[in-house]
A and B are shown apart, each in its own frame.
Chain A
């Protein structure tokens, strides 16, 4: 008798306590002039925020950006506003919001204004020297580049918080540049190696990176 009672309570309470899980998805990419923007994907370093009107209290949903500029969130259907978070990410904080009408599934491109743009990144391994060549474009006048780094790591996350070896180039603002690094010991000691270029802008926490990693080994 007691057991039936307890079972009944459990089943009855289940229906009252559990909320539906969100099943709609929002996916997207952070882009500059149509091209994805590469960032640090580890440690939830770079984020955007989703806000939704109509509720009594306001609580944003953080959307973290991956290395290749993509992001996704599991949400309920509704209308959302996607914004940049001031200082998060190597782009300018904009007051513009991207309005998203979510009904099941939506894919968006989130345009941002960069300070510098990194394009045409190519990597060359000759013997034990890795060389990266890239184009750096200065888009604003009031920020300098602290330094540009060629990073090498042995996992798929390569950024200024996770690297094995690093070679830097300072005083580069605009133009085509290349950085070379001797990776003999790293090639010997690691099964896989990935390379990536990162641009550290003065006063901005997160660097701008190459969208794609290059697998050296």
Chain B
């Protein structure tokens, strides 16, 4: 029996080896040649989809914690956050692997046999992603090596000196981005894309406007940080260049406002809901480019992470929550000072009938950005209650408990939505929840399903602000500058301005573009980050504050059942925000410096 087995085995082996050669000569079904890719539109879409998925940097909802790094939100769930300063490599980007991949694509598509329009559009998209990558590099690192359309082939033994490009100047890097965007604007389609996920002409022009604005403001304001500069111009743009950059920003943003198919979203008569929909609804009329998500396959956990406890679909909630600083920066409809009225002049609490009364007449954009006490979400009302204040023998005492606990005779002591100061997971510590970018769907907050909310990168609201800021810098008439700002203020539903200064623009960007990856870069390019986030305890702008609502229990008294509010330092942000001079430009990693000795270190390294 055994011999038969061996005979059969050897016979099979012989048979196998006879057909071996053909087996090994098969065409690969996993490796595709350039001709196969560049001649097929569907192939190209799948290749470029990969590149679109690799360009999410900075503050974005795919990385929940990134929204809590500044003065917009803080960490809530769990124990306190003890970050003392900004890291030397915060949001640093240095992706030359992607640059090479994009260059390969650009070179390949130019030789493609497809129709001219299709080729051009793909080339435009790849070059847009390339310009976007360089933009993300220059805003953290300053000037970086510019590869152009270069693709290197390395053979062992060849001189790598040719592969080592030195850093371009900061100015040249911005110029390259602007030049690329100008050229590709003619290659790309000018129609809206589905969910604004793919780039079009307007995305390229929006990037051009933003890049020019950044360069212009760095040139204008870097006199405030004279030590933040390198001898060769890798960091630092001469002030003489400011006007030409602002002119580009001004003209490009005006062109987008005049001719693009986008409009400021004003579909909903309820101003607060309208602002939410302008940014967080895929029916918005103003979003130019977004990182879109779809179910199944491409979802994210932002809604799951930041949702309020009382409306969550899963266990997760309150990972990061907005801080009082942002809420107080929103103006009132008729008062530019947005501080909440919590106490009388003599220090007594002001009593409010309903929780939302303290937020009455606030800029409706607050409703669209932040969930505050008494606001609605997913059909229920979110009410924050830190505890109960009651009279004991003539003096006021405070009672707090685990979220959701009731006790006779007080009723509910601490709301399910907090806030508290303990180290519990998933419990709110600041008295607010996120609304911008939170999907209004309970399933979106479950771990299983996730959210398909998009992250908006460019929208018309920003273009209006670019027009206003560049017009101001170019000394255009105040009526014109105010005209731009007032477009946003009218859309928001607050009083208009007749005169506009840089402070007004800083203020408007702060509230309009909160959580949209602008604040950090704005304070850096105006060179005020080190004065706003000065790392000093109790500094009102650097320290995080929370709002703790208390319900009054005083049966028989007029104030029984009313609300008072306490502003207090956020327990879960232990240290104030500390931006040092070395944070203006990220450090170059020693690894990169070792591989390319031509690279110049950034200041403070």
Q: Which residues of A contact B (CB under 8 A)?
A: 42-43, 57-60, 85-88, 160-163, 166, 203-205
A43 touching B590, Cβ below 8 Å: no
Partner of B535, one of A57, A86, A161: A161
B594 touching A160, Cβ below 8 Å: no
A42 CA to B578 CA in the complex, in Å?
13
Closest Cβ of chain B: how far from A176's Cβ, in Å? Answer: 26
Partner of B590, one of A58, A87, A161, A166: A58
Partner of A162, one of B530, B537, B582, B605: B537
Given contacts A161-B537, A205-B580, A205-B582, contact A86 B605 (CB under 8 A): yes
Binary CB contact string for chain B from 428 to 472 against chain A (1 if under 8 A, 0 otherwise): 000000000000000000000000000000000000000000000
Partner of A85, one of B84, B226, B590, B605: B605
A3 CA to B11 CA in the complex, in Å?
43
A43 CA to B575 CA in the complex, in Å?
11
Closest Cβ of chain A: how far from B227's Cβ, in Å? Answer: 6
A161 CA to B84 CA in the complex, in Å?
8
Binary CB contact string for chain B from 574 to 602 against chain A (1 if under 8 A, 0 otherwise): 01101011100000001001100000000
Closest Cβ of chain A: how far from B473's Cβ, in Å? Answer: 24
Given contacts A161-B537, A162-B537, contact A87 B582 (CB under 8 A): yes
Q: Which residues of B contact A (CB under 8 A)?
A: 84-85, 225-227, 530, 535-537, 575-576, 578, 580-582, 590, 593-594, 603-605
B537 touching A163, Cβ below 8 Å: yes
Closest Cβ of chain B: how far from A91's Cβ, in Å? Answer: 13
Closest Cβ of chain B: how far from A210's Cβ, in Å? Answer: 18
CB nearest to A205 among chain B residues: B580
Which residues on the B side are within 8 Å of A160 (C-beta)? 535-536
Given contacts A43-B85, A85-B604, A161-B535, contact A58 B227 (CB under 8 A): no
B225 touching A86, Cβ below 8 Å: no
CB nearest to B581 among chain A residues: A205
Closest Cβ of chain A: how far from B247's Cβ, in Å? Answer: 31
Partner of B226, one of A42, A43, A59, A203: A203
Which residues on the B side are within 8 Å of A87 (C-beta)? 227, 581-582, 603-604
B227 touching A203, Cβ below 8 Å: yes
Which residues on the B side are within 8 Å of A203 (C-beta)? 225-227, 581
Which residues on the A side are within 8 Å of B575 (C-beta)? 161
A214 CA to B594 CA in the complex, in Å?
45
Partner of A60, one of B580, B581, B590: B590
A205 CA to B590 CA in the complex, in Å?
23
Which residues on the A side are within 8 Å of B578 (C-beta)? 161
Which residues on the B side are within 8 Å of A43 (C-beta)? 84-85
A143 CA to B530 CA in the complex, in Å?
17
27 contacts between A and B (CB under 8 A): A42-B84, A43-B85, A58-B590, A58-B593, A59-B590, A59-B594, A60-B590, A85-B605, A86-B603, A86-B605, A87-B581, A87-B582, A87-B604, A88-B582, A88-B604, A160-B536, A161-B536, A161-B537, A161-B578, A166-B536, A203-B225, A203-B226, A203-B227, A203-B581, A205-B530, A205-B580, A205-B582
Q: 19 extra interchain contacts, Cβ-Cβ under 8 A, other than A204-B581, A205-B582?
A: A42-B84, A58-B593, A59-B590, A59-B594, A60-B590, A85-B604, A86-B605, A87-B227, A87-B603, A87-B604, A160-B535, A161-B535, A161-B536, A161-B575, A161-B578, A162-B537, A203-B225, A203-B581, A205-B581
Which residues on the A side are within 8 Å of B594 (C-beta)? 57-59
A59 CA to B589 CA in the complex, in Å?
10
Which residues on the B side are within 8 Å of A58 (C-beta)? 590, 593-594
A201 CA to B536 CA in the complex, in Å?
15
